[in-house]
């Protein structure tokens, strides 16, 4: 109960700070607007205003403060503007509309899920190979670990363009990026998980005269589940980032990344913020869903803490 209260307080504090930050961020633009509309502004000359600090301007012209939360193209949109835009572009628009965030979100989500499925599948396969073959372990594993320290996302624009030049476009290039971003975390986590049974447990199976495959299915795989889910959560977040970044170089056709890019081209800040929040909500839902599945699976397996 106390922690819910604490979280709510922090969230409320963030929103208050956000509203407060809108004033200095937007005041100069608002002053220009109200002056054009014929209102008295202190100080009157534009040159003096340019040299003044934002806070001084806000104090001198306190009557425009409400306007800083209602601007059309603010530098920092107020929370309610973002919320309204989110509502209008999800519930207020038809799903087939090009302005519907659900449409764009689905474009991104489908690439994310496809890539995530491919990346996770291949990652698990490679991990199984690494655990069972010493050669693969010694040759591949160091590279898999090193690959986590390098920004492989830099490959994204090239993959898009190269696949485009061989005639592949649409969902596949984005899915490829998502796949390789989720691939390495899954490999590393899964290898750790498949190795997690200790000597006692492995010895027990040996006394049962269990074959290698029985040992895998009955001990190693179940024991790896907590590790698998931990890396799946990292992997899906990485996949989503991959799909969003993969949408950037295609010239902003569809998807959340395209909304971000189009918004930054045309100075539509409210659009950028709502796309950003849509991406955040999507990520939170995906991670939350995996957490739910994790809890159900682990409970069913009797491993829940």
State the residues that interact with other proteins by CB under 8 A.
2-3, 6-11, 14, 75, 134-135, 137-143, 146, 148-151, 153-155, 157-158, 160-162, 165-166, 233, 237, 240-241, 244-245, 248-249, 256, 260-261, 263-264, 267, 269, 272-273, 275-276, 279-280, 283-284, 287
Shortest distance in whole angstroms from residue 304 CB to other proteins? 20
Are 163 and 169 contacting, i.e. CB atoms less than 8 angstroms apart?
yes
Question: % helix / strand / coil in the chain, to the nearest 5?
Answer: 80, 0, 20
Judged by CB, which is closer to other proteins: 57, or 241? 241
Closest among 174, 188, 63, 211 to 123, alpha carbons compared: 188
Judged by CB, which is closer to other proteins: 181, or 219? 181
Both tokens of 198, joined, read 């200790």
Shortest distance in whole angstroms from residue 211 CB to other proteins? 21
Judged by CB, which is closer to other proteins: 9, or 214? 9
Judged by CB, which is closer to other proteins: 11, or 59? 11
Q: How many CB atoms lie within 10 A of CB 270?
A: 21
Shortest distance in whole angstroms from residue 109 CB to other proteins? 12
Shortest distance in whole angstroms from residue 224 CB to other proteins? 21
Backbone angles phi, psi at 60, to 5 degrees: -70, -30
Shortest distance in whole angstroms from residue 188 CB to other proteins? 13
CA distance 139 to 173: 28
Q: Tell me the CA end-to-end span of the chain in Å, nearest whole number.
A: 21
Judged by CB, which is closer to other proteins: 52, or 283? 283
For residues 40, 44, 46 and 48, what is the CA-based torsion angle, rounded to 10 degrees?
-140
């Amino acid at each position: 109960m106390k922690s819910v209260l604490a979280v709510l307080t922090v969230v409320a504090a963030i929103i208050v700070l956000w509203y407060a930050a809108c004033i200095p961020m937007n005041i100069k633009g608002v002053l220009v607007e109200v002056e054009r509309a014929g209102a008295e502004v202190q100080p009157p000359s534009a040159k003096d205003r340019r040299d003044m600090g934002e806070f001084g301007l806000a104090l001198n012209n306190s009557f425009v403060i409400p306007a800083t939360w209602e601007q059309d193209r603010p530098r920092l949109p107020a929370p309610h503007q973002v919320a309204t835009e989110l509502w209008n572009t999800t519930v207020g628009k038809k799903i087939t509309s090009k302005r519907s965030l659900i449409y764009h979100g689905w474009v991104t989500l489908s690439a994310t899920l496809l890539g995530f499925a491919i990346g996770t599948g291949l990652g698990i396969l490679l991990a199984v190979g690494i655990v069972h073959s010493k050669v693969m372990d010694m040759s591949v594993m160091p590279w898999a670990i090193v690959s986590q320290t390098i920004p492989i996302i830099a490959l994204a624009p090239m993959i898009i363009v190269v696949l485009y030049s061989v005639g592949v476009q649409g969902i596949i290039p984005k899915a490829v990026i998502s796949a390789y971003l989720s691939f390495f975390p899954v490999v590393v986590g899964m290898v750790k998980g498949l190795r997690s049974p200790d000597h006692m447990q492995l010895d027990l199976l040996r006394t049962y005269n269990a074959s290698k495959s029985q040992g895998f299915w009955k001990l190693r795989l179940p024991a790896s589940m907590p590790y698998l889910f931990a890396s799946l959560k990292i992997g899906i977040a990485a996949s989503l980032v991959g799909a969003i970044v993969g949408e950037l170089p295609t010239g902003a056709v569809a998807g959340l990344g395209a909304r971000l890019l189009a918004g930054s081209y045309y100075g539509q800040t409210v659009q950028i913020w709502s796309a950003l929040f849509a991406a955040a909500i999507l990520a939170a839902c995906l991670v939350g869903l995996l957490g739910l599945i994790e809890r159900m699976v682990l409970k069913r397996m009797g491993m829940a803490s």
